[in-house]
Amino acid sequence: MLKIENLQARIEDKEILKGLNIEVKAGEVHAIMGPNGAGKSTMASVIAGKEEYEVTGGSIELNGEDISELAPDERAHAGVFLSFQYPVEIPGVTVTNFIKSSINESRKAQGLEEMPAKDLLKKIREKSELLEIDRKFLSRSLNEGFSGGEKKRNEIFQMAMLEPKLAILDETDSGLDIDALRIVANGVNKLKSKDNAVIVITHYQRLLDYIVPDFVHVLHDGKIVKSGTKELALELEEKGYDWIKEELNA
Amino acid sequence: MKQMDLKEKLISSFLAFENQVDVDVDSNVHDVRSKAFSNFEQQGFPTKRDEEWKYTNLSSLLKSNYNIFSKGEASLTYKDVKQYFINETDCYNLVFIDGKFNAFLSNTTHDGLDVCVMSAALSKAKYKKAIDTYFNKLAKENNSLSDLNTAFSSEGAYINIPKNTVVPKPIQILNFSTGSEQEILIQPRNLVIVGENAHVQIIERHQSLKGNNTLTNSVTEIFVNQRGIVDFYKMQNDAETASLIDGTFVSQQKDSVASVHTFSFGGKLTRNNLEFYQNGEHCVSHMNGISILDGKQHVDNHTLVQHKAPNCESHEMYKGIYDEKSTGVFNGKVIVEQAAQKINAYQQNNNIIVGDKASVNSKPQLEIFADDVKCSHGCTIGQLDESALFYMQQRGIPKKEAKALLMYAFSNDALKDVKIPELKTRINAIIAQKLDVNIGFDL
């Protein structure tokens, strides 16, 4: 599904990713953990194609195709979805209209007709029920005045609507109370299949109780320095990151 | 021989014009015109030295050799101009071609209300009382361009709604300039009288069809009596060869509500002087504007609200999107007289600069002489939000569409009060066309 080799990226003059390697296969869930400033969000943004970051080396392949030169929307059409840590407010565009544009642009890119309104509404109803989203919410301006939890739920709702191949959840757990966390995690789990993959970026083990990873990686100073199974996350929760830094320095 | 400049040409034409216009002997209109003309003669056209015209330069416009009196021979059929009518809604229509009334394309009435032409109102005895009461009572306070219009006033829309009348359908005033003969100066003069507790919706459009330069110097006076309601929509979607100077003056009596919406989507130069005078308590005034410009287009919105009475409100919201080398001006003046306690005046001007060489000058001007009032204003000039663009692109919306969607959403606030559905659809379509995109839904 996703194969990243020796990825290096910087913003302005600051090197952030310094030779990152990761391979994610279809059907897998990977967790990326690491201390603040390790480059976790940068990794997510670079995979999604944010222009402020300059890729200075390495490659990003999605299903065998190098996507590192594609525009963000082309990567989205190829199946990349990023759930933002801080979803952007767009006053004047309702959730429904936004999702409609989003779906139809993706379909257009694939040479498909627009989704018939009836099908779209049916799908919206299904997916909003899955994420326990109130219908009234759908006619509000996108993310405007949403609580932190509503914004994150709305991200996963969009993910449910778009059915991406690769979903990257960037600190989707931050700002969620325990009930919202359960709803969001449940949504992600229902969307998981043998054909798609999920990368969960998080500071805390808590989310991983609900979205159980096949692999856990520690990102430190722009590189993955340690990989393991879900037990690694528990160990990190208990011991912090210092022991990993010490291991590296030894 | 040196070409006569426009002012000289107007001066030499005035007497001939005044003598040939068909007016009652005992009418005051001759005096009004003569007085206005001498004001214009003294002041001339405004220049950049004039504070109110600092950012809008008329000098290049005044160089054209305008024909001051249209021959009015241009013939247009309904088919030529059908697209500019609001069709699906039944309307009264007043159609002017190069400043001359076209009865064939129009649909007037005298049945319970007057929707007809100024030339009739200015010359027939039965309108004398209304003309003496209202004509030039607002425009006279103003600049030399209004005086020029008054001096040559002969044609335009005359709308008089008696008290307690709710006009069942919108009134369209359509001004077409054909540009077929020569460069032309058109000076429409409209008078709208809204009786006590009456309600009317008016759509005014200026549209150049092709060819030579057109300069329109239009004046509209609107009088809204007690509890009257007027919604006035200005469509200024014009050709690159057309320039428009518009003076719209609104006088409100107590408990009245007046809204003027200005949609400027083109034209070489557009200057809107929009003035509201609140004369009684509990008046509400709305001014909404959207400008979407590119090329070298220029739009200048100069607004004034004069709060003379207590417990009134004024709401002003202007949005602008400027691409390429286009330029914009917003000047919002609010005067709160000492008697106007407990008023609420709100003013907002938001601009997005898209083109590297586009620019906007925005200036709020508050003059407050009362001590218990609420006045607020806000102005922003910015670019499209890059993080919002990335967010939208991440969801599969290409950059061009994402930009358009953001601009669409940005202008939407100023569109939500449009109460004629077909008009709103039209404006949405024009915006989509201006932004060269089909986003697949109306906001």
Distance CA B317, CA B416 (A): 11
CA distance B292 to B237: 10
Neighbouring CB atoms inside 10 A of A89's CB total 17
* Interface ipTM: 0.96
Domain boundary among B279, B313, B335: B279
Q: Which of A72, A90, A101 sits opposite B388 (nearest CB)?
A: A90
- The token pair at A222 is 């722009």
Is A66 an interface residue toward B (CB < 8 Å)?
no
Specify the residue for token string 């990873």. A213
CA distance B407 to chain A (A): 10
Residues 6+ apart with CB under 8 A from A196: A1, A26, A27, A79, A163, A164, A165, A166, A167
Crossing angle of helices A148-162 and A95-109, in 10° steps, is 30
Burial label for B262, CB within 10 Å (0-12, 13-18, 19+), is buried
Residues contacting B231, CB < 8 A, separation 6+: B200, B201, B202, B259, B261, B419
Range(s) of the domain holding residue B405: 387-443
Give A-chain residues touching B412 at CB under 8 angstroms.
92
Tally of domains in chain B: 2
Give the residue among A14, A13, A17, A10 at the shortest CA–CA distance from A38.
A17
Q: Do B388 and A114 touch (CB under 8 A)?
A: no
In this complex, is the C-beta atom of A104 within 8 Å of any C-beta atom belonging to chain B?
yes
Q: Do residues B273 and B392 both lie within one domain? A: no
Are residues B62 and B200 part of one domain?
yes
Could you please state the CATH topology (level 3) that the domain comprising A2-249 is classified under.
Rossmann fold (3.40.50)
Report whether B278 contacts B311 (CB < 8 A): no
> pLDDT truncated to tens, each residue of chain B (443 aa)?
455 688 988 988 888 888 777 665 567 888 899 999 999 999 999 998 899 999 999 998 998 888 888 776 667 888 888 889 987 779 999 999 999 999 999 999 999 999 999 999 998 989 999 999 999 999 876 689 999 999 999 999 999 999 999 999 999 999 998 877 678 999 999 999 999 999 999 999 999 887 678 999 999 999 999 999 999 999 997 788 899 999 999 999 999 999 999 999 989 999 999 999 999 999 999 999 999 999 999 999 999 999 999 999 999 999 999 999 999 999 999 999 999 999 999 999 999 999 999 999 999 999 999 999 999 999 999 998 899 999 999 999 999 889 888 888 888 878 888 999 889 888 888 888 887 776 655 54
Q: How far is B349 from chain A (nearest CA, A)?
A: 16
Q: How far is B295 from chain A (nearest CA, A)?
A: 27
Tell me which of B279, B296, B330 is where a domain ends: B279
Q: Beta strands of chain A (E only): which ranges?
A: 2-11, 14-24, 29-33, 53-62, 65-66, 80-83, 90-94, 141-142, 166-170, 197-201, 215-220, 223-228
A84 vs B391: CB contact, 8 Å cut-off? Answer: yes
Chain A with chain B: Cβ pairs closer than 8 A: 83
> Is there a single domain that holds both residue B49 and residue B188?
yes
d(CA A181, nearest CA chain B) in Å? 23
- By the CB < 8 Å criterion, does B438 face chain A? no
Task: Please name the residues between 366 and 385 in chain B that touch chain A, using a CB distance below 8 Å.
Answer: 385
Inside any domain, residue B320: no
Q: Per the CB < 8 Å rule, is A88 touching B398?
A: no
Pick among A85, A90, A102 to test the B interface (most B CBs inside 10 A): A90
Q: How far is CA B207 from CA B58, B122, B214, B216, B269, in A?
A: 20, 25, 10, 10, 13
Residue B421 lies in a domain: yes
Look up residue B350 and give its amino acid: N
| Measured distance CA(B148)–CA(B187) in Å, rounded | 9
Residue type, B263: F
B179 in a domain, yes or no?
yes
CA geometry: angle B17, B206, B333, nearest 5 deg: 90
Read off the tokens for B28.
């005051």
Q: What is the reported pLDDT for B1?
A: 43
For B360, how many CA atoms within 13 A lie in the half-sphere containing its CB? Answer: 27
Establish if B381 belongs to a structural domain. no
